[in-house]
Every structure is written in C-alpha cells, then in structure tokens.
Amino acid sequence: MKTTFLVPALLAAALAAPSFAATPEAAAKADKPAAPAKAAKASAKKTSAKKPQPAAKAAAKPQKPGPLADFGAVTPSADVKHVANWVSYTHNAGNRAFVLVDKKSAQVYVFDPKGKLVSNSTSPVLLGLAPGDAVHPVGNKPISKLKEEEKNTPAGKFLAQPGKNNHGANIIWIDYKNSLSMHSMHSVSAAERRGDRMATPDPEDNKISNGCINVPPKFYSSVVWPTVRKYGAYVYVLPETRTPQQQFGSFDVPIG
C-alpha cells in the first residue's frame, strides 16, 4: 500500500523552482521593454562588438604513408612481408607495435610502431591443434568440454591486452571473451612433447595447443611481453584457409 504526503501548494512550488529561478519582482523587470533609445544603443553596441567570422579551416592533410617493414636479416614468407608492409605503410596499427603470427610456418614476428622487427629475429610458436581460421564462441567453456574443431587458433586482427592468468603469470589476451591468449610456453603433459615440437623444422608439429599461441619463454620475456607493454600492440594472426587480402582487406603497397 502506497502512502501519499500532501504538501501545501506554495511550498511545493518553492521546492520545484530551481535555485536560479527569478523572483516575481525580477521577472517583472525582465519582462519590461527597454526604452527605444537605450534599446538602439544596446543593439549598436552588440553589433559593433561582433568579430568577423574566421575563415573555414583548411581540409586536414592526408596522413603521410609509413615506411615499409624492416625485417633486418630475416627473410619472411611472401604473406608475412605483404601484411607487414601493408600494416606499416597504412598505419593500420596506429601508433602501436604490431605482432604477426604466421600459422602456415608457425612463426611470430614482433615489430615496433615504426615497422622495425624487434631484436632482428623471429621465433617458432605452438598453435591450436585444429585447422581453420574461424572464431568459435567458446566463452569460458572448460577445456575438457571443447570440441576438436574448437581447438584452433583463429585468424584476424586482435587488440593485445596484457594481464595475468589464474596463476599470476604474465599473459597477453587477444580475445578475452573466448579465452584466447598468447603466453610463454609451459609443459602441460609430458606426452605432448611441446619443447621438442617447438624445436623441429616441421610447422605441422607445432599444432598442439587448445588454441592459445605458445611462445618460447626467453623470446616471450625478452621481446613479446616488453614490446606489448611499452607500446601497446595489435596482433595479426594470418589465415591458413584464405588469403591475407580476404582476411584483412590488405593490398600491395608501393615499393621503392
């Protein structure tokens, strides 16, 4: 049952009026028209006080293209070179660093915001067990409940988000809502032989994780983590079932 409180009309009006509302006397003065002479004088003063309108601002100049990616002594695949040059030339990562993960060769490349390969080196990585580039909305589904096709590393452009895992270790989230991250490699099961797989030249051996990108501890702690923390970064995971142009809308940039 609701209770109604009766407030006298005058008090209600006073409470409803804002603090800056005019009193009846002030309102009467405000409504009173000014004398013709004064009004003309005020109008002339107001007109003379007007400043000339500034000219319209010139259209913003187009952004100057960035440099081509600098790989140093490293020889990348054609797809990696194409995407790295496009990202650097078009400023696709803004003022952030960018990380390229080539699923076909199971390699990671880390660039600073100026398109220079950090440490002039690259590193092998471990990737998802299943093939495919699709993002599966697994959310927080337990690993034991994942379907085989959901254990892939999806392709795409992801904003890197440094954080901590449940054990307090440094981790870089690339798709937090779907529990996808890049982190230092750790042993899950001796039978998986993750260290051995990382060392072989065959990239097919590197497909063993549940979807996360595993990086050798030394390269992660000395290159990946400090670069992402210093500049912020976007992670570009190159596709394996389509072209980079189809995935990112990239294009060949002028060379030379």
* pTM, 2 dp: 0.74
Rounded CA separation 210/146 (Å): 8
Per the structure block, which two tokens stand in for 164? 């901590």
Residue 53 domain-assigned? no
Hey, what are 107's tokens? 């390699």
Q: In this predicted structure, what is the pLDDT of residue 22?
A: 35
Mean pLDDT across the stretch 129-148?
Answer: 78
Model confidence band, residue 53 (pLDDT cutoffs 50, 70, 90):
low
Mean pLDDT score, 202-223: 92
Distance CA 240, CA 237 (A): 9
Residue 104 clears pLDDT 90, i.e. is over it:
yes
pLDDT at 97: 98
Q: Ranked by mean pLDDT, which of 35-39, 63-67, 134-138, 241-245 comes out on top? A: 241-245
197 Cβ contact partners less than 8 Å away, ≥ 6 residues apart: 126, 205, 206, 208
Provide the strand spans (E) within the chain.
Answer: 97-102, 107-111, 123-124, 127-128, 156-159, 161-164, 170-175, 180-184, 207-209, 213-215, 233-238
Question: How far from 206 is each of 100, 127, 179, CA to CA, in Å?
Answer: 16, 6, 20
> Are the C-beta atoms of 199 and 94 separated by less than 8 Å?
no
Answer whether residue 96 is part of any domain.
Answer: yes
**CATH assignment of the domain containing 105:** 2.40.440.10
Sequence-distant (≥ 6) Cβ neighbours of residue 216 within 8 angstroms: 123, 124, 125, 184, 185, 198
Question: Is 143 contained in some domain?
Answer: yes
Query: Would you say residue 49 lies in a domain?
Result: no
DSSP codes of every residue in 156-177? EEEE-EEEE-TTS-EEEEEEGG
Instruction: For residue 152, tell me if it sits in a domain.
Output: yes
- Measure the N-to-C terminal CA separation of the chain; round to a whole number of Å: 81
Q: Is the pLDDT of residue 247 over 50?
A: yes
Q: Give domain status of residue 54, yes or no.
A: no
Cα dihedral sign, 118-124-126-129: positive
Could you tell me what percent of the chain has a pLDDT over 90?
50
Structural domain that includes position 98: 78-248
* Residue 193 resides in a domain: yes
Q: How many domains does the chain have?
A: 1
50: Cβ–Cβ under 8 A, 6 or more apart, which residues?
none
Q: Tell me the per-residue pLDDT of 69-80, one tens digit each, with 9 for 90 and over.
A: 999 999 999 999
Q: pLDDT band for position 55 (50/70/90)? A: low
